[in-house]
Structure 1
């Protein structure tokens, strides 16, 4: 009964982690480029209470199934789903979406590279193309002050139409990165991810090249969170939490009956 108490308590804790994760998914249903995640669970170690001996035709004992009792479950990992989100038209020339595989690269304050699917870019005071957090693209694309129009081709080439002479000037090339295991990326917040040993080293390439998606100007990738799916998962987690809490109450009732036995 003491084991039942601790096992049920661990089950409640595991389901609480699941609810926390679902809440984060739902909170980011409107976040550009957000990728939903799920919690992975593992059962804990098992205790061998007893082993059985089964007789065979030769009246010799052989080992049979043993009596094992588990000790509950625990949350062990966050699994992120990088399925493509829907692409919505914005009409903003500096809004970019990757249709297919690949991440935009931005330079972090410490000099490292962050990876993102959020293509909501803008021009800062110095003319650099930056994201919403003010982090510049790793390609270091600078937009001239006298540019009257910006065009980004599907292969990531950025050009500007200059005022006065109506000439097209190439400003730079957007390069994408992809990973053999994007699920191993570390979420940094601000729609950014960082490379880890689990994700592997990044592969770089121009948009539209083999294995990479294309860049669509004037569009943004939406969150891939499905509200209906998250609500179903929330109900399942809630029911599991309630069941584990009833198990705690049942174990306490059994202990109370045992303590009340009179000799």
Structure 2
């Protein structure tokens, strides 16, 4: 009985994490460049169960079959599938189609990667994210620098070349983007990035919308709700069994 309650407790923990994950996806449906995250779970290996109630004296080992003690979370998987593109009126809104990521210099000195091109301009006239991280570019010598975006004539072509500056957006690709570490606010860190070589197209006056599938998230939320209900019923049944057992023992 205690084993059953432990199993139910583990299931409740997993369902709680799944519900939190669904909530995060739904909350970011309108966040540019957001990539949906999914929880991958598996069933724990079954264990052979036995008691020692066999034989005429009820003292011999008696195999009673196998039992599975619930599920476990294997990984948090983030889908980097392409999101749709949405046109905007802002010249500093930039979208990517392809495998590349914008490369930005964090205010904390860390280099980040993002698909969120909802940029703005800081007091120094530099292109920055909404959090103030400066967008990086490369010059003719391949050196990294910050992108100037002051004034009213900022423009960027489909290859990421910034008009009349001799600079190009620094776009970085990863062979396995799923291995990137999320740092929140659509920012990621990771190793092994390489310069995007013609596989990513840049669109000005556009944003890549979230790749969250609303219908799938609603379905997942309903399934989690039903699992919660089923586990709650099982827990209530276990509690009732323990209560009756305690009362009967107390009468002996």
TM bucket normalised to smaller: 0.7 to 0.9
Give the whole-Å Cα distance in 2 for the aligned partners of 1:157 and 1:66. 70
Matched, 1:143 2:148: yes
Matched, 1:38 2:31: no
SS of residue in 2 equivalent to 1:78:
strand
Give the whole-Å Cα distance in 2 for the aligned partners of 1:93 and 1:237. 42
Match of 2:209 in 1: 222
Match of 1:244 in 2: 231
Give the whole-Å Cα distance in 1 for the aligned partners of 2:110 and 2:42. 34
Bigger shift: 37-46 or 1-10? Answer: 37-46
Query: Matched residue pairs, number?
Result: 232
Give the whole-Å Cα distance in 1 for the aligned partners of 2:64 and 2:233. 28
Is the CA contact 1:142–1:171 (under 8 Å) kept in the aligned structure 2?
A: no
Q: How does 1:1-80 map to 2 (within 5 A)?
A: 1-50=1-50, 67-80=65-78
Bigger shift: 184-193 or 132-141? Answer: 132-141
Is the CA contact 1:95–1:220 (under 8 Å) kept in the aligned structure 2?
A: yes
TM-score of the two chains, using structure 1 as the length reference: 0.81
Matched, 1:201 2:192: yes
Shift of 1:67: 2.8
Give the whole-Å Cα distance in 2 for the aligned partners of 1:218 and 1:153. 11
Shift of 1:144: 7.1
Matched, 1:152 2:150: no
Give the whole-Å Cα distance in 2 for the aligned partners of 1:92 and 1:252. 59
Give the whole-Å Cα distance in 1 for the aligned partners of 2:95 and 2:124. 24
Shift of 1:106: 0.1
Gaps of 5+ in 2: 52-62, 138-144
Is the CA contact 1:97–1:119 (under 8 Å) kept in the aligned structure 2?
A: yes
Match of 1:123 in 2: 121
SS of residue in 2 equivalent to 1:151:
coil
Is the CA contact 2:135–2:147 (under 8 Å) kept in the aligned structure 1?
A: no
Give the whole-Å Cα distance in 2 for the aligned partners of 1:133 and 1:29. 19
TM-score of the two chains, using structure 2 as the length reference: 0.84
SS of residue in 2 equivalent to 1:83:
coil
Shift of 1:246: 0.9
Shift of 1:123: 1.9
Give the whole-Å Cα distance in 2 for the aligned partners of 1:100 and 1:142. 21
| Residue deviations 1:126-172 (CA, integer Å, cap 9, x gap) | 12111111111122344375x5412211111001xxxxxxxxx2341
Give the whole-Å Cα distance in 2 for the aligned partners of 1:144 and 1:21. 36
| Residue deviations 1:160-195 (CA, integer Å, cap 9, x gap) | xxxxxxxxx234111211112111211111220111
Shift of 1:253: 2.4
Is the CA contact 1:17–1:75 (under 8 Å) kept in the aligned structure 2?
A: no
Is the CA contact 1:4–1:247 (under 8 Å) kept in the aligned structure 2?
A: no
Give the whole-Å Cα distance in 2 for the aligned partners of 1:173 and 1:83. 25
